Amino acid sequence: MNRILATLLLLVVVSPASLFSQHPADTPLSLAMAKMEQEGALKSGSFSMSAVNLDNGQAIVDHYAQRSMVPASIMKIVTTAVALEKLGPNFQFKTPVSGVKNPETGLLNGNIYIQASGDPTLQSKYYSSMPSSIDQIAEALQGNGKNKGILIVDASIFGKYNTPRGWVWEDMGNYFGSTPSALMWRDNMIKVFLNSSQVGNPVMLSPKTKGLDGYTLDLSIESSSSSRDDAWFFSSPNSDVIYAKGSIPSNRANFLVKASHPDPMNGFAKEVLSESRLVNMEPRIEYTHIERSNLETLTTLVSPPLTAIVKLCNMKSINLYAEALNIQLDEKAKGKTVEGGIAAIESHLKGKQVNLRGVRIMDGSGLSPLNRMTAEAMTGILALAYRSDVKDYFLGSLPVAGQSGTLARYFKGTKADGNVRAKSGTMSGVRNYAGYLTNRHGETVAFCIMLNDYDESRKTQVMQRIEEILVAIIEQ
């Protein structure tokens, strides 16, 4: 009886949930997978993986591939792949600026209108070489400094509230947690410069800081002996109070930290008026679209093509870009929402026969810890993108191991270096990688490796295990 029970328990341990365990135990891949399973960093965590040969359809690894896991930033793969397919690689955001001109004088007469388009690239730090959108508008308005009226930002393309569900409070006040808005400007971010002194002393706001007019900044940040930036901002959209706590290195002048902007649309409108010297006008944000006649387009702000936006989004892991693309996918012409974008993504994937069982999408970037993804679904999405008309654009957007983007520092000097193209996804206790590699036979393999609740103090060992798995698949 004991021998029968032991056999049954063994069958449970090597269940079909782990395909690699059915292969010979002495292959490099099986050994690498076993070492990951035995890794001390996963004593209280979970490990899921899927790898599929896209040339012959063979499943190479299916290790708890249907387990729901927190995806973090590999969620951007889903958003960007679907955006390329549905919007098209040449899609551009267009933000027209218009007004009514006096037919006799040719001067503006009354209000000025900016039709927000959901463009996340306006004066983005990632496009610093592009002409300033503020300067472009100011030039178009030149000679109308005495105009009276209102500068209206028509924000009706998006719904009024766009913070995705499940975003963490301590993320929302920081630049990487900026809420998407109908008009995004300077990455919806405020640059805050701080002066620190001796260890333990409070830091002071530097006069170099701009853009805080109308806001109360409550600083509780100390000077620290650490060389790390450990300052955190706390605020929410449309709030007029920002408070900050934590620490920055001691004895620094104009130390840069970045907060999310509570009201970027209003900040943009005010700067347009200031730079255009339209001192008699007031800004206003409208969320309901009103058709107006006799408007003349004065200038149009045009974004780079979608291919360029997607490449930056994946290479630099830009949350705001991913959220903007998600909302843009909502099929409504006006009042687009986070939920509408998610519905469009899910509908697209289901229509392409991707199995979304165990998948829960809460945002476009992966910042929400409420997101759930399975390794099986992710390799299905990767396979779909690989076989699509936008394959080359999508593959070109992914970081290359040892060379570019968020993978530039990893897998150097191994067979994964210059071979693996993948998106990383990390947050507290989460480390994931999803993408493609080419094996020694020249075949393309889609893979997804997901680790949740791992011991971050053993990151070096975990990365070694991931490297061993990827190299084993390449060599198999």
DSSP per-residue string spanning 173-233: TBGGGPPP-SS--GGGEEEEEEE--STTSBPEE-TT--S-TT-EEEEEEEEESSSS-EEEE
Please enumerate in sequence order all residues whose Cβ is within 8 A of that of 13, keeping only pairs 6 or more positions apart, or say none: none
The predicted pLDDT at position 105 comes to 78
Longest dimension (CA), the chain: 102
Give the chain's length: 476
pLDDT of residue 215: 94
Instruction: Report the SS3 class of residue 146.
Output: coil
What are the start-end ranges of the E strands in 40-155? 46-53, 59-63, 94-101, 108-115, 149-154
Q: Are residues 419 and 434 in the same domain?
A: yes
Statement to judge: residues 132 and 229 lie in one domain: yes
C-alpha 311/C-alpha 305 separation (Å) is: 10
Q: Are residues 121 and 245 in the same domain?
A: yes
CA nearest 49: which of 454, 447, 473?
A: 447
- Report the distance separating Cα 170 and Cα 475, nearest Å: 43
Buried (b) or exposed (e) across 365-375, using 16+ Cβ within 10 A?
bbbbbebbbbb
Residue 163 near residue 237, CB atoms below 8 Å: yes
320 lies in the same domain as 245 = no
* Residues 127 and 206 occupy one common structural domain: yes
Same domain, 58 and 188: no
Specify the pLDDT at position 17.
56
Chain-centre distance for alpha carbon 217 = 26
Q: Do 253 and 106 have their domain in common?
A: yes
**How many CB atoms lie under 10 A from the CB of residue 340?**
19
Is the same domain home to 149 and 81? no
Are the CB atoms for 50 and 65 separated by under 8 Å?
yes
CB-based contact 82:349 (threshold 8 Å) = yes
Per-residue pLDDT of the chain (476 residues; tens, 9 = 90+): 444 333 333 333 334 455 554 555 679 999 999 999 999 999 999 999 999 999 999 999 999 999 999 999 999 999 999 999 999 999 999 999 999 888 877 778 889 999 999 999 999 999 988 889 999 999 998 876 567 789 999 999 999 999 999 999 999 999 999 999 999 999 999 999 999 999 999 999 999 999 998 999 999 999 999 999 999 999 999 999 999 999 999 999 999 999 999 999 999 999 999 998 887 889 999 999 988 888 999 999 999 999 999 999 999 999 999 999 999 999 999 999 999 999 999 999 999 999 999 999 999 999 999 999 999 999 999 999 999 999 999 999 999 999 999 999 999 999 999 999 999 999 999 999 999 999 999 999 999 999 999 999 999 999 999 999 999 999 99
pLDDT at 149: 87
Q: Which of 97, 102, 99, 110 is nearest to 282 (CA)?
A: 110
pLDDT for 24 equals 59
Q: What is the pLDDT of residue 201?
A: 97
Q: Which of 302, 331, 351 is the last residue of a domain?
A: 302
* Cβ atoms 410, 13 nearer than 8 A: no
**Under a CB-based contact definition with an 8 Å cutoff, are residues 434 and 442 in contact?**
no
pLDDT at 292: 87
Domain that holds residue 36: 2-88+308-475
Q: Which of 302, 321, 339 is the last residue of a domain?
A: 302
- The model carries a pTM of 0.93
Compute how many other C-beta atoms are within 10 angstroms of the C-beta atom of residue 453: 17
Q: Using the 8-state DSSP alphabet, how is residue 250 labeled?
A: S
Note whether 243 and 351 are same-domain residues. no
- Report the domain count for the chain: 2
Non-local CB neighbours of 217 within 8 Å, separated by 6+ positions: 192, 205, 242, 243, 244
The type of residue at 247 is S
Same domain, 71 and 15: yes
CA triple 281-282-287, angle to 5 deg: 130
**CA 298 to CA 295: how far, in whole Å?**
9
Contact 313, 71 (CB under 8 A): no
Phi and psi for 255 in degrees, rounded to 5?
-75, 125
Residue 361 and residue 277 share a domain: no
375: nearest Cα among 73, 77, 65? 65
Q: 461 in helix, strand or coil?
A: helix
Q: Locate 332 and state its tokens.
A: 């409504």
- Is residue 134 within 8 A of residue 183, CB to CB? The reply is no
Distances (CA, A) of 3 to 6, 15, 255: 5, 18, 67
Is 298 in the same domain as 239? Answer: yes
Domain boundary among 285, 302, 319: 302
Q: What is the pLDDT of residue 100?
A: 86
